[in-house]
Structure 1
Amino acid sequence: MTPEELSAAIAACLQAAVDAGDFAVEMPDEVRVERPKNREHGDWATNIAMQLGKKAGMNPRQFAEILSARLEKIDGVARVEIAGPGFLNITVDAAAAGLLAKSIVEAGTGYGTSDDLAGQRINLEFVSANPTGPIHLGGTRWAALGDSLARILVAQGADVAREYYFNDHGSQIDRFARSLLAKAKGEPAPEDGYGGDYIADIANAVLAQNPDALSAADPQEEFRSRGVELMFTAIKKSLHEFGVDFDVYFHENSLFEDGAVEKLLEELKGSGSLYFNDGAWWLKSTDFGDDKDRVVIKSDGNAAYIAGDIAYFKNKRDRGFDLCIYMLGADHHGYVARLKAAAAAMGDSADRVEVLIGQMVNLVKDGKPMRMSKRAGTVVTMEDLVDAVGVDAARYALTRSHADSNIDIDLDLLVKHSNDNPVYYVQYAHARTCAVARNAAASGVERSAFDASLLDHATENELLAVLGAYPSVVAMAAKFREPHRVARHLEVIAGAYHRWYDACRVTPIGDGEVTDTHRTRLWLNTAVTQVLANGLDLLGVSAPERM
């Protein structure tokens, strides 16, 4: 019996009680069941009686007593106990619990997926690093988290478009072009320019494409157009090698070239959402929750950065997206209110916008902060991290912590083949399940029989419980935009599996007889293989069969 099946059974009991006149209450959207902290309190617990008791005009414990009487009659439920003010602690019988192993294997890659978000079109914008240098660690973290979140949302039925906002408009591009031109001329970088070996690499590549670039009618423009394209090509290549590809690469400059920004600003003037003061046009963003009004058209007549943001949001909505999620860096907290304000100013719902803020990443090696990157000049890059630990370890390490927390990445730890290394711990569990399957085949153990009641060892009960919780973990990761929940739960599954492996054999000892216990345990072993593979795939991490 999965948590979802138990939740549905409780909901059915609630409806039956309402129909019988036991109490009158509006049915909840969902009935949540969770693992009790103390396993002596049963396999699952729900506080539904505490949620609905008072609404039904009765004491929650009295409500729980009515509900428990119905729950005890459900096939697969061994015992229901009422605890405290009205908690329902539920114990399922071994056969009901063990059936989960077979259902997981039969579900395959579909286990843990749902259609909860079916019909919802989501635009997920992440990374969006300026094309003026390699992707730094902050962008690398967003690449790992963003791609994992996209996979998780898709697993819940959403239609997700991964989008990269290509910042090819503004002063940073001019500084980049001047830096390339100076390097090509053999001159020092401009005071506000970019350094690092990559500037020389790009400048030389421009000259290789056009040996006459320095004598062009507008050398800076020549280096700008070719240099930006070369840099962006390098960024795309780095992301692809990191396992991250985008459905849309949106060029910021297009909003200005096709007049979208100018047209939208005129619309906002007409709607009264903008006002003129001190020679500039301001958005009445305080009317929509921002801490101050924002300049949209500066006194010199040029559009401020927020003008492009507003036009970009409108473009996304015009493309039919129901929800626009922006994943931004630690210095973008002010964007939360202003983007929501921009949506509201256009007559749209502020709920169409979500902004996720990520925090800093620090690399540690030999107990000390990692040196600056020679190639980038000022920051540690995606390539630096991948070169040090590999793609799998990098992605897992960046995904297993909450996005809104600062993290230290210990490079020495991530290259260790030990249980102290989280990614190794999980991947090794998957590889071990595959080794067990190979050994089982060699011993003549097949999944030709299944008797759920034979999965009655304490470690099997624990393992089945954490496997059963996996779908709800994925659902919560999608709901709260927290991929780290999946990573952490995989570590819980790996731990439960290793304990089961130490206690229960899938193959007979020596020339011992193959029994249905061995065959049934092979089903459970295969179920673990499947869940670990499904979870690692959501994180964009490989599930090796041998290590």
Structure 2
Amino acid sequence: MKEYLHKKLLASLASLGLATDAPPIFESPRQPDHGDLTTNIAMVLARKLKRNPRELAQQIIGRLDVDHTLVAKIEVAGPGFMNFFFTGKFYQQQLRELVVCGDRYGRSEQNGPMATQVEFVSANPTGPLTVGHGRGAVFGDTIARLLEWTGHRVEREYYFNNAGRQMRILGDSVRLRYLELLGDPIEFPEDYYQGEYIKDIARHLVERQGDGLRNEPATGKFKGQAEQEIFADIKKTLKLLGIEFQSFFNENSLYETGKIAEVIEELRRRDLVYEKEGALWFKTSALGAEQDKVIVKSTGEPTYRLPDIAYHREKFRRGYDLMIDVFGSDHVATYPDVLAALKALDYDTEKVKVLIHQFVTITQEGEVVKMSTRKANFITLDELIEDVGADVVRYFFLMRTITSHLNFDLALARQQSDENPVYYLQYAHARICSILRYAEQSGHASFSPDADYALLTTGAEMDLIKILLQLPEVIASCASSYEPHRLAEYLHSVAGIFHRFYHECRVVSESADLTKARLALCNATRIVIRNGLSVLGISAPEQM
């Protein structure tokens, strides 16, 4: 309807000889008696034209050619708002369309399909995924799902580094634990990788190789075995959350193919690098930063910025229309320099969207949970999944904006009651499925294509219909703003309004026609909750 009214409003303005740079914006009024949609376009234009906004609004309405079987009336309110009231026929048509669309309801192609890459998680294979990685993983996957639902072709990519100092330390850590298992005395440095998972990898090597690796360098089979086992565990953990990647990109390939050297040469040709104190500096001050940054240390080892620049050049060369990076807050200081370098190298950085998520704290009854586990000296993501379940983990990671710190309440997550928002949502879906099963057992079809939606007139019924019809717009809005938490909030509201409808309106009654209509409304609610949960990557059980 917004698109329909948008076209009609522009035609009305054109007939009055009025042009507007800003397109009309329609919003849902806060108060139901103010209609179904409202716009302030008359007030915006009146300021420019120095005219009375209420009079201008009346003129615009006078030229509006709308279908009055869909739009009951248009009123001017307050200082010049134009409030649109829809007919019951409009809602009946939309509800019928919702039920017919079924699993596809909510899908759209807002701005045409774009080739999109979403890069997320990107944790090096040095240990189990943390809950912080989990937040980025669930958020990144849900952004990909939202974009797919709005018509984009999406590729999920995992970027990792199996070289460098941390991987060398990993190999050394496993080697020392291996020698320890053979009975050799060792000194284990504090900055080496702790946790039982290192001992497990070493134990596997002893079982397969015996003492045959005593003289093996840490960067050989020790590092290789560790990387293989840890990466397998990472992929297994992500799969528990329903996350699978289409591609994995190894940072080391950038060195092997000369892409790192290419970046240095390109920056040098533009006079954007110089040497000082044995290090190579990126002249970010020439690009608006306060100070220059080291991109190659005096040891010859690059900092994060250099391979990130090279990696993003490769992304551009693959021809994506949109590249989304999901980073933890530890990237706040580095990504602006990467974007500045790409812009200096003549790449369109408008195609790159960086999304930063904040930290996660595990709490229980208001207290921060600080504990070591068998696997590591932190709570691992797979242990959290095992504790509360994948659906709960996904929802809790998504129910707050990523710009805010997240307190993951373990006690709440473990509850199977309405206080747990995941349980509340899934229970609403299961209750609807139960109603539909009961109806069939009572001789009623769970869905009748000839249901008379005009019989749905109570306040509870109309409130439910109106919120159900918002799903396509909510999904599109969440996709364009990269805010999946708003979809979680919307679904919670849908469940609440459905519960009110269920308590106020008897679904299976003596009236066969009214029963048909209310069963159709239940079915529509089931579709919306199920589709919304699908976008969030959460299951919709039919029984609980």
Q: Please report the TM-score for the alignment, with normalisation by the length of structure 2.
A: 0.93
Q: Determine helix, strand or coil for the equivalent of 1:116.
A: coil
Report deviation, 1:224: 0.9
Tell me, in whole angstroms, the C-alpha distance in 2 between the residues paired with 1:264 and 1:144.
Answer: 32
Amino acid at match of 1:68: I
1:283 paired residue number: 282
Is 1:11 the counterpart of 2:2? The answer is no
Trace 1:250-289 onto structure 2 (pairs within 5 A): 250-289=249-288
Amino acid at match of 1:490: L
Amino acid at match of 1:41: H
Change beyond 3 A, Cα 1:544–1:211: same
1:111 paired residue number: 105
CA-to-aligned-CA distance 1:20-48 (integer Å, 9 cap, x gap):
x323214755x443222111222222223
2:326 paired residue number: 327
Tell me, in whole angstroms, the C-alpha distance in 1 between the residues paired with 2:381 and 2:505.
Answer: 42
Report deviation, 1:475: 1.3
2:114 paired residue number: 120
CA-to-aligned-CA distance 1:437-461 (integer Å, 9 cap, x gap):
1122222333142323211110111
Contact conserved, 1:152 with 1:474, CA < 8 A, in 2? yes
Trace 1:308-323 onto structure 2 (pairs within 5 A): 308-323=307-322
Change beyond 3 A, Cα 1:373–1:64: farther
**Could you say what the CA RMSD is over the residues aligned between the two structures, in angstroms?**
2.0
Contact conserved, 1:189 with 1:195, CA < 8 A, in 2? no
Identify which of 55, 77, 95 aligns with 1:62: 55
Tell me, in whole angstroms, the C-alpha distance in 2 between the residues paired with 1:86 and 1:330.
Answer: 44
CA-to-aligned-CA distance 1:187-244 (integer Å, 9 cap, x gap):
3432310111111112222334433552344244220122112111111111111211
Stretches of structure 2 lacking an aligned partner (at least 5 in a row): 181-185
Contact conserved, 1:145 with 1:399, CA < 8 A, in 2? yes
Identify which of 37, 41, 55 aligns with 2:34: 41
216-225 vs 462-471, which moves further: 216-225
Report deviation, 1:71: 6.2
Tell me, in whole angstroms, the C-alpha distance in 2 between the residues paired with 1:117 and 1:334.
Answer: 32
529-538 vs 286-295, which moves further: 286-295
Is 1:544 the counterpart of 2:537? The answer is no
381-390 vs 89-98, which moves further: 89-98
Amino acid at match of 1:33: F
51-60 vs 99-108, which moves further: 51-60
Contact conserved, 1:285 with 1:338, CA < 8 A, in 2? yes
Contact conserved, 2:158 with 2:247, CA < 8 A, in 1? yes
1:356 paired residue number: 355
1:496 paired residue number: 497
Change beyond 3 A, Cα 1:355–1:109: same
Amino acid at match of 2:303: A
1:163 paired residue number: 157
Contact conserved, 2:69 with 2:89, CA < 8 A, in 1? no
Tell me, in whole angstroms, the C-alpha distance in 1 between the residues paired with 2:31 and 2:397.
Answer: 31
Report deviation, 1:99: 2.4
Report deviation, 1:520: 1.6
525-534 vs 284-293, which moves further: 284-293
Change beyond 3 A, Cα 1:454–1:513: closer
Identify which of 56, 67, 89 aligns with 2:83: 89
Report deviation, 1:271: 2.9
Tell me, in whole angstroms, the C-alpha distance in 2 between the residues paired with 1:48 and 1:496.
Answer: 31
244-253 vs 370-379, which moves further: 370-379
Amino acid at match of 2:130: H
Contact conserved, 1:181 with 1:220, CA < 8 A, in 2? no
Report deviation, 1:291: 3.6
Tell me, in whole angstroms, the C-alpha distance in 2 between the residues paired with 1:310 and 1:198.
Answer: 33
Trace 1:135-284 onto structure 2 (pairs within 5 A): 135-186=129-180, 187-212=186-211, 214-284=213-283
Q: Determine helix, strand or coil for the equivalent of 1:148.
A: helix
Change beyond 3 A, Cα 1:320–1:530: same
CA-to-aligned-CA distance 1:127-152 (integer Å, 9 cap, x gap):
11121110001001111111111100
CA-to-aligned-CA distance 1:219-273 (integer Å, 9 cap, x gap):
4422012211211111111111121111111111111122211122112212333
Q: Determine helix, strand or coil for the equivalent of 2:85.
A: strand
Q: Determine helix, strand or coil for the equivalent of 2:324.
A: strand
Contact conserved, 1:72 with 1:78, CA < 8 A, in 2? no
Is 1:521 the counterpart of 2:518? The answer is yes
1:476 paired residue number: 477
Q: Determine helix, strand or coil for the equivalent of 1:36.
A: coil
Q: Determine helix, strand or coil for the equivalent of 1:24.
A: coil
Tell me, in whole angstroms, the C-alpha distance in 1 between the residues paired with 2:81 and 2:332.
Answer: 40
Tell me, in whole angstroms, the C-alpha distance in 1 between the residues paired with 2:219 and 2:298.
Answer: 27
Q: Determine helix, strand or coil for the equivalent of 1:351.
A: helix
Alignment: residue pair count: 536
Contact conserved, 1:47 with 1:88, CA < 8 A, in 2? yes
Identity level (%) = 37
